[in-house]
């Protein structure tokens, strides 16, 4: 995850198109296609997003770096698109009951679309970072950019070329990689597989 960008290097149209295409072609349950993207490339729009969502006061290190991103991609999803799709005859459900879902696939699919976008960014030589919209600011973002009410905010992806002196990586403190997340055969047992790192 890149947290500081070279403000002098715009994102080429072809690279942005590749990132967006990868996100929109990610799998979706029942081919519901409920994930949507709002791409902000105009500097005024990018600045407007930060004005709407930043905490009052001087920006911290993270925000100073993130504000240098020339492109922001806002990821949205529609629960209604999934409920409508699975109420169609070929799916066998005759109602739109969200309790039928083992997981909220509208968010699962948005996560897959976001990951596809991040990987496409790397393949295009760009840096990227996924981050959340502050919950109390989602309404302001929705209003400012005309996002329909049924759309649920998933997060944002910043895009650009990494700053030569930029910050890449995780949290400021070093967190050891947990080795208890991989299970083989059963949760409690089975031979451990080697961590691919």
In the chain the domains, ranked by start, together with CATH numbers, are: 13-160 (3.40.109.10)
Residue position matching structure tokens 């329909």:
148
pLDDT of residue 194: 61
Annotate 55-73 with DSSP letters as a single string: PSSS--HHHHHHTT-SEEE
DSSP reduced 3-state for 37 = strand
DSSP 197: -
Q: Render each residue's pLDDT in the chain as its tens digit; 197 residues.
A: 999 999 889 999 999 999 999 999 999 999 999 999 999 999 999 999 999 999 999 999 999 999 999 999 999 999 999 999 999 989 888 889 888 899 999 999 999 999 999 999 999 999 999 999 999 999 999 999 999 999 999 999 999 999 987 555 555 556 788 878 777 778 886 555 565 55
Positive or negative, the CA dihedral 87, 92, 94, 96 is negative
Question: Rounded to 5, what percent of the chain is helix, strand, coil?
Answer: 40, 15, 45
d(CA 53, CA 159): 18
* pTM assigned to the model: 0.88
């Amino acid at each position: 995850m890149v947290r500081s960008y070279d403000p002098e290097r715009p994102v080429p149209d072809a690279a942005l198109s590749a990132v967006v295409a990868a996100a929109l072609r990610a799998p979706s349950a029942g081919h519901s296609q409920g994930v949507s993207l709002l791409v902000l490339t105009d500097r005024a729009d990018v600045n407007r997003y930060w004005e709407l969502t930043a905490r009052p006061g001087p920006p911290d290190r993270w925000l100073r770096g993130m504000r240098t991103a020339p492109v922001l991609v806002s990821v949205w999803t529609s629960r209604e698109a999934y409920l409508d799709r699975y109420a169609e005859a070929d799916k066998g459900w005759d109602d739109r009951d969200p309790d039928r879902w083992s997981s909220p696939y509208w968010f699962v699919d948005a996560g897959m679309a976001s990951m596809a976008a991040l990987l496409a960014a790397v393949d295009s030589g760009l840096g990227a970072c996924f981050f959340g919209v502050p919950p109390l600011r989602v309404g302001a973002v929705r209003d400012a950019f005309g996002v329909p009410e049924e759309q649920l905010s998933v997060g944002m992806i910043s895009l650009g070329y990494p700053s030569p002196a930029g910050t890449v990586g995780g949290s400021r403190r070093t967190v050891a990689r947990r080795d208890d997340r991989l299970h083989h055969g059963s949760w409690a047992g089975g031979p451990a597989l080697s961590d691919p790192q």
